[in-house]
C-alpha cells in the first residue's frame, strides 16, 4: 500500500493568507470572480474590509492591486493562470513592474495563480496556461516561482508577503504529492537539492519534481546516480547551484509543465551555456497547445507531452551519452 501523502496548494495558500493577514494589517487580497475556487474567500470572511472581488475583469484586478500597492498596501491578486497573465500583460508590465518609487523596483503586488499547465482537466487548450513562465520571466523586476507542493506554497506565501516587490507564483489545480517536510527552508533565488547524485542532474519545477524523483529511482536500478533539484525559484534562478551541478554531474535534463520555448529549460540553458556547457535535454510541451482531458485522462495527456518518469529516464540516458 502506498504511503504517499498529497496536499492541496490552494488550501495551503488560503490558510497562509489568513495567517499573514493576522500578522500584517497592510495585506489586502483581490480576486476576479474565482475567489471560491482559489479559496481566497476565506480571507474575505476573516477580513472583509481588506478583500476585493472585482468581477470577471482581470486587467482591472491588476490595476486595482497596483493602486493599492502604490498607496502602501501589500496586495495579493489571484485568479486562474490563463487569465493572469493571459489577459493582462500590459497592466502587469506597466502598472506593477515598471513603476519604481524611490529606489524600489516595481510595486508590492503578489500575483498568485492556480490552474497552471496542462493539468486543469476538461477545460482544454484554451485554458491550459503553458506560456506564463516565458511571459513573466522576461518582465524586468518580476520574480517567478513554481512550487512543487503545498508545503512550498505555504512557505513561499509567507516569504513573498514579507519581501518587497512584484512576484508571480503558479499553483496547480490538482492535489500534489508532498515532496518537502515542514522543516524545509526556502529562499528566493536558491534551488533545493532533493536527491544527490553524480551521473546526471534532473532540474525540475512544479509537479515535475515528483516525476524527476521517480525517474531517479528507476535510473538507480540501472546503476545511474541522478541528482534531483527543485528549482522552484525560476527568476531569480540559482546560477551557482546549476553550474555546480553541471561541473559535478556532466549532464542536465530539465522538466517543466510548460512550453519548452522560453520557459524553465530555456532559463537553465542560458545559465549553463555561459558558465559550464554540458549536454542538456529539455522536457516539456513541444511548441504546441494543450487539449481537453478529463481528470482520469490527465496522466495520458502528460504522457503525450513526454511528462513522465519513463521519458525523463530516456532523456537522462541520451544526455549522458553525449558527455565528453
Q: What is the pLDDT along the chain (324 residues), one digit of tens a residue?
A: 457 899 999 999 999 999 999 999 999 999 999 999 999 999 999 999 999 999 999 999 999 999 999 999 999 999 999 999 999 999 999 999 999 888 899 999 999 999 999 999 788 999 999 999 999 999 999 999 999 999 999 999 999 999 999 999 999 999 999 999 999 999 999 999 999 999 999 999 999 999 999 999 999 999 999 999 999 999 999 999 999 999 999 999 999 999 999 999 999 999 999 999 999 999 999 999 999 999 899 999 999 999 999 999 999 999 999 987
CATH code for the domain defined by 192-321: 3.40.50.920
Tell me how far the alpha carbon of residue 56 is from its chain's centroid: 24
What nine digits make up the cell of 88?
493582462
Can you tell me the distance from the alpha carbon of 76 to that of 62, in angstroms, rounded to the nearest whole number?
10
Confidence at residue 1, expressed as pLDDT on a 0 to 100 scale:
41
Q: What cell does 191 get?
A: 534551488
In CATH terms, are 6-177 and 192-321 the same topology?
A: yes
Q: What cell does 311 get?
A: 521519458
Residue 208: all three cell numbers together: 515535475
Could you tell me whether strands 51-53 and 192-195 are parallel, antiparallel, or unpaired per DSSP bridges? unpaired
pLDDT at 113: 98
CATH T-level fold of 6-177: Rossmann fold (3.40.50)
Among 112, 136, 116, 137, which residue's Cα sits nearest to residue 127?
Answer: 116
Residue 2: per-residue pLDDT: 53
What's the confidence (pLDDT) of residue 297? 93
**Which alpha helices (H) appear in 187-263, and where do they start and end?**
208-221, 239-249
C-alpha cell at position 116:
497552471
The one catalytic residue in 58, 131, 256, 257 is: 58
Is 58 annotated in the active site? yes
Asked whether the beta carbons of 113 and 84 are under 8 A apart, the reply is yes
**pTM greater than 0.95 (yes/no):** yes
Domain ranges of the chain: 6-177, 192-321
> 302, 118 in Cβ contact below 8 A?
yes
Residue-by-residue DSSP string for 28-94: EEEESS-HHHHTTHHHHHH-GGGEEE--S-HHHHHHHHHHHHHTT-EEEEE-BTTTTTTT-HHHIII
The pLDDT of residue 324: 74
Q: How are strands ordered across the β-sheet holding 252-259?
A: 192-195, 226-230, 200-204, 252-259, 280-285
Q: How far apart are CA 1 and CA 276, in angstroms?
A: 43
Amino acid at each position: 500500500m502506498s504511503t504517499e501523502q498529497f496536499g492541496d496548494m490552494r488550501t495551503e495558500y488560503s490558510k497562509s493568507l489568513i495567517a499573514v493577514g493576522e500578522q500584517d494589517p497592510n495585506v489586502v487580497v483581490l480576486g476576479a470572480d474565482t475567489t471560491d475556487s482559489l479559496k481566497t474567500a476565506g480571507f474575505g470572511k476573516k477580513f472583509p474590509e481588506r478583500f476585493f472581488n472585482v468581477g470577471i475583469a482581470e486587467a482591472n484586478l491588476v490595476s486595482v492591486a497596483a493602486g493599492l500597492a502604490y498607496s502602501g498596501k501589500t496586495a495579493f491578486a489571484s485568479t486562474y493562470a490563463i487569465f493572469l497573465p493571459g489577459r493582462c500583460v500590459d497592466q502587469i508590465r506597466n502598472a506593477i513592474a515598471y513603476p519604481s518609487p524611490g529606489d524600489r523596483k516595481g510595486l508590492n503586488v503578489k500575483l498568485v495563480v492556480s490552474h497552471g499547465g496542462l493539468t486543469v482537466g476538461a477545460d482544454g487548450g484554451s485554458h491550459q496556461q503553458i506560456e506564463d513562465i516565458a511571459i513573466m520571466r522576461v518582465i524586468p523586476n518580476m520574480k517567478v516561482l513554481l512550487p512543487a507542493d503545498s508545503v512550498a506554497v505555504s512557505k513561499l506565501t509567507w516569504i513573498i508577503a514579507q519581501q518587497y516587490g512584484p512576484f508571480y507564483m503558479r499553483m496547480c489545480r490538482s492535489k500534489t504529492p508532498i515532496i518537502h517536510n515542514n522543516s524545509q527552508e526556502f529562499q528566493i533565488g536558491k534551488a533545493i537539492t532533493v536527491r544527490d547524485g553524480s551521473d546526471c542532474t534532473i532540474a525540475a519545477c512544479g509537479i515535475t519534481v515528483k516525476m524527476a524523483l521517480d525517474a531517479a529511482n528507476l535510473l538507480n536500478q540501472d546503476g545511474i546516480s541522478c541528482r534531483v533539484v527543485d528549482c522552484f525559484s525560476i527568476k531569480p534562478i540559482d546560477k551557482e547551484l546549476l553550474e555546480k551541478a553541471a561541473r559535478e554531474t556532466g549532464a542536465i535534463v530539465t522538466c517543466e509543465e510548460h512550453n519548452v520555448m522560453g520557459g524553465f529549460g530555456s532559463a537553465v540553458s542560458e545559465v549553463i551555456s555561459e558558465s559550464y556547457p554540458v549536454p542538456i535535454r529539455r522536457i516539456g510541451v513541444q511548441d504546441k497547445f494543450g487539449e481537453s482531458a478529463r481528470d482520469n485522462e490527465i496522466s495520458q495527456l502528460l504522457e503525450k507531452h513526454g511528462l513522465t518518469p519513463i521519458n525523463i529516464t530516456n532523456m537522462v540516458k541520451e544526455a549522458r551519452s553525449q558527455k565528453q
